[in-house]
Structure 1
Amino acid sequence: MAALGDQSEAPPPPPDQQAMASQNKPISNIVIIIAMQTEALPIVNRFQLTEEPNSPFPQGVPWVRYRGTYKNLNVSLIWPGKDPVLGVDSVGTISSALVTYAAIQTLQPDLIINAGTAGGFKAKGASIGDVFIVSDCAFHDRRIPIPVFDLYGVGLRKAVEAPNLVRELNLKVAKLSTGDSLDMSQQDESSIIANDATLKDMEGAAIAYVAELLKVPAVFVKAVTDIIDGDKPTAEEFLQNLAAVTAKLDLAVEKVINFINGKCIAEL
């Protein structure tokens, strides 16, 4: 038994108190998670990040960490890398969930930023090049038509509330729906409409799930590359607009990080 006044065996504060403390602590350690190399490299260059030669991740995984300091922030950008067999970007929910979990466990960030491109619905007000902050994330391709399991499949989760950031940077706010396919089946479309989503991507809700599970706030910055309810094939429009829209994403991420610098979560 510890002597009176000895705090060496004092229990940690309750989770609610820990969460409150983290909300009011200045943000100093940010992890940016980006699915594609084309999306990642402009941000790497803008913040003068360098690739970590000694990966903190398990041997054999293709995940890449870029790191550096910017103003008062330690910044890491995690890219899931290229598929070891096919050599394409490791897009989708599985890679994103894995790298998010590994990054949180290894780097202990104060905040996660998932930056990337997305499809948008013109019927919901999206246009090519628009940049959104995401308010809610859900899945549209996890259909489990059993009571309660259906809600688990949708997996609705809220991003960190950032009203000051949205107002200061004059960004649009939208709901995001996530699935593992670039195209959209009729069933997917029905689920996306049910999710009231303006945006569709292949990572966000998976990152939101892991971030909530491990109690790390997450901000989602999405730029529109293709109009889902437009008249052009999705893959063609996505590739046509990727470079130009990635440049807009890069600028938006810089503005977001400049706003975050010196603030705590509660001030976002």
Structure 2
Amino acid sequence: MKKICFVVAMEGEAKPLIRHFGLRHIGGRFGQLPSQAYEAFYAGKEITLITNGVDSETGLDYIGCEAAVLSAHLAISSFPPDLIINAGTAGGFASKGAQIGDVYLSDRYVVFHDRRVAIPGWDKMGQGYLPCADCRNIASRIRAKLGVCTSGSSLDITEEDLEQMKQTGGEVKDMEAAAIAWVASLYHIPLLCVKAITDLVDTGHPTPEQFNDNFLLATQRLDDACFRLIDEKLIDEL
């Protein structure tokens, strides 16, 4: 594991990683595309980090599966890594033991929860069941839990989404992981998702309020976990 690429949706999630690893911005690497690239050599590793960039009209971070596919493709085609780490915030389920600020590592596979195609064969392809690196041997050492990451294109959640999560075993809800996992699978590059919980989707509290209230705590926990993966050379055990 000499070349590590972080794919991160939001600048607020990425900034502590950029500072800690001493990453420098590579301006204009992707031309007119919004994704932004950073790189440095750190602790014997070639580390790159790609963010989705911001929308020129609103000034807000691009989020969601489309932006994640673009960033993942650009990351792999421009800086072919040995491992992709998708670091970000996510929702969790109190009914499955999640608490605000918990850090999860992706377990078993990564799935979509809002691609409903009720045709045999297409249904499974829609859900994904995309591979991720086996990280069971390192999770407890960074005080992380293990869970199936499940992705969709909306911040809220519907009854249909919940039913798909039940079918696939989804435990950590975000808007990018499965899209990145799909691109990584096409290139046969291992993927590790590191997610910190900002909101509990099954408590009845509005998700936007939870996200805003808990974003700082979650990103601190997220970044600490990512630092330890590199600084303690845990990724070499994957």
Alignment TM class, shorter chain as reference:
over 0.9
Gaps of 5+ in 2: none
Contact 1:165 1:259 in 2 (8 A): no
Deviations 1:64-101 (A, max 9, x none): 11111211101111001001233211100011011111
Share of identical aligned residues, percent? 38
CA distance in 2, matches of 1:232, 1:49: 37
Shift of 1:168: 3.2
Aligned to 1:115, the other structure's residue is in SS state: strand
Deviations 1:168-197 (A, max 9, x none): 334210011100000001111111121211
Amino acid at match of 2:62: S
37, 56, 74: which one pairs with 2:46? 74
93, 96, 99: which one pairs with 1:124? 96
Distance 1:262 1:199, change over 3 A: closer
Bigger shift: residues 216-225 or 78-87: 78-87
CA distance in 2, matches of 1:29, 1:184: 36
Within a 5 Å distance, the mapping from 1:252-263 to structure 2 comes to: 252-260=225-233, 263=236
CA distance in 2, matches of 1:40, 1:108: 20
Runs of 4+ with >4 A deviation: none
The structure richer in strand per residue is 2
152, 161, 180: which one pairs with 2:153? 180
Amino acid at match of 2:104: F
Contact 1:139 1:155 in 2 (8 A): yes
CA distance in 2, matches of 1:252, 1:193: 28
95, 99, 115: which one pairs with 1:142? 115
Amino acid at match of 1:48: G
Q: Is 1:37 aligned to residue 39 of structure 2?
A: no
Amino acid at match of 2:176: E
Shift of 1:167: 4.2
Within a 5 Å distance, the mapping from 1:77-88 to structure 2 comes to: 77-88=49-60
Bigger shift: residues 233-242 or 192-201: 192-201
Contact 2:69 2:183 in 1 (8 A): yes
Bigger shift: residues 142-151 or 160-169: 160-169
Deviations 1:105-155 (A, max 9, x none): 111111100000000001111000000111121001110111111111101
Gaps of 5+ in 1: 1-26
Q: Is 1:241 aligned to residue 214 of structure 2?
A: yes
Q: Match of 1:161? A: 134
Q: Match of 1:103? A: 75
CA distance in 1, matches of 2:185, 2:48: 19
87, 90, 93: which one pairs with 2:65? 93
Q: Match of 1:18? A: none
CA distance in 2, matches of 1:232, 1:63: 32
Contact 1:33 1:113 in 2 (8 A): yes
Distance 1:262 1:216, change over 3 A: closer
Deviations 1:8-44 (A, max 9, x none): xxxxxxxxxxxxxxxxxxx111110000111111111
Aligned to 1:206, the other structure's residue is in SS state: helix
CA distance in 1, matches of 2:54, 2:106: 26
Number of residue-to-residue matches in the alignment: 237
TM-score for both structures, normalised by structure 1: 0.85
CA distance in 2, matches of 1:230, 1:259: 36
Aligned to 2:137, the other structure's residue is in SS state: helix
Flag the structure with larger Rg.
1
Amino acid at match of 1:81: G
CA distance in 1, matches of 2:141, 2:14: 24
Aligned to 1:164, the other structure's residue is in SS state: coil
CA distance in 1, matches of 2:63, 2:92: 18
TM-score for both structures, normalised by structure 2: 0.95
CA distance in 1, matches of 2:70, 2:81: 15
Contact 1:143 1:150 in 2 (8 A): yes
Distance 1:261 1:126, change over 3 A: closer
Q: Match of 1:28? A: 2
